[in-house]
Structure 1
Amino acid sequence: MKNIPFIAIVIWALAGCQTEENLPEIQSVSYPLYQTGEYAFEGTATFELREDAVELLIQLDGVTSEDPYFYTGHLHFGNLDDEDATIAQLLSPIDSRTLQSRTVIGRLSNGNEPDFESLKNFDGHIKIHLADQGPDYDVILVSGNIGTNDTSLYYFNTHKIALCSPNYPE
């Protein structure tokens, strides 16, 4: 009878280990997002391969808000300094309370539906704006190249970043 608690603990510990081993491994690739404006934000854009879709997780680091406010984000074709870089997909708004958003990547504005491998080799970049319209739309909080573009801080130059058009191709 004295061994029952010990046996129960051993069984519980072994069951816990087996649960961790059975968790599916998520394939992912991450890219840095650098502070682009006067606001002290930086972050990470992570593409994750899920069972039936690719999700883009945006995680910002900076000051959170207690009030609901949402930053606007875009996945663009081309390099950060490409003028008139077309928006490939609108991203789910980034909540100022959590500084996160998740977007299921679907059909892009050019009609393509990228898979995980093509997104790893995507010629693109991401920009997160302070607002979705008005003068604050021109304030880019963070941005960063993804895929085949140079994603290093060495290459990143805020003076070369092109503003993007608020128009999304239909």
Structure 2
Amino acid sequence: MRYENRNIHPMKKLLYSLIILFFMMSCEDDKGDPIYTGNQLEYNLFQASDFNYSGKLLVKEAFGGELILEIELKGDKDSEAYFFPAHLHFGSYDTVDAPMAFILEPVDIRTLKSSTVLGTLSNGETLTFEAFKNFDGHIKVHLAESGPDYLVILAVGNIGANADENAAFDKDEISICLPSF
């Protein structure tokens, strides 16, 4: 009886190694490539009405250069679906008739969060991370999309060049929001 050489052919070894590597990689936690560069800005959003909502705006830079604006509010949540409209405006929160720069994704009352990929602003400008630091703007989160409750601002905060952590916030200075571009 003759014993055959049971050594695996080098090409088969390579193929088996690749298959095993593929399965190992697919079984790992699916973290994927991180989409953020690590550049991040944070701004306070202040309670602006009798409704107890405040929070923060996080501005994150993605590897493609896009800016992701994440609103995280603190306040009462609800299990029923309801969305608070949110807008990026030009000027500080006390600028009269401050024009809207970009409509943000609404804040979901169930999570009190919103995430928006910032696109081209109403004036045609596209902001980079560095340009956002000097942007003359503010964020407003409304109670409703229309009607009298649209005039109720839940949370507001200056951002970019207007952000001054040492300045006192005065909700009586908030300007009315223009409803469209």
TM superposition score category, shorter chain reference: 0.7 to 0.9
Cα deviation, 1:8-29, whole Å, max 9, x if unaligned, reads xxxxxxxxxxxx9x96652100
Identity, % of aligned positions: 42
- 1:155 corresponds in structure 2 to 168
Q: In the alignment, residue 76 of structure 2 is paired with which amino acid? A: V
In structure 1, the gaps of 5 or more residues are: 1-19
Q: In the alignment, residue 45 of structure 1 is paired with which amino acid? A: L
- 1:104 corresponds in structure 2 to 117
Partners of 1:32 and 1:151 within 8 A in 2: no
Number of corresponding residues: 149
Structure 1 segments of 4+ aligned residues over 6 angstroms from their partners: none
Q: 2:63 aligns with which of 42, 51, 69?
A: 51
Pair member with larger Rg: 2
In structure 2, the gaps of 5 or more residues are: 1-30
- 2:48 corresponds in structure 1 to 36
Name the Cα RMSD after superposition.
Answer: 1.8
Partners of 2:37 and 2:61 within 8 A in 1: no
Distance in 2, matches of 1:66 and 1:81, equals 33
Cα deviation, 1:94-151, whole Å, max 9, x if unaligned, reads 1000000101011000000111111111110000000010011011000000011143
- 1:89 corresponds in structure 2 to 102
Distance in 1, matches of 2:166 and 2:44, equals 9
Cα deviation, 1:39-71, whole Å, max 9, x if unaligned, reads 111100011001121100000011111000000
Partners of 1:44 and 1:60 within 8 A in 2: yes
- Secondary structure class of the residue paired with 2:132: helix
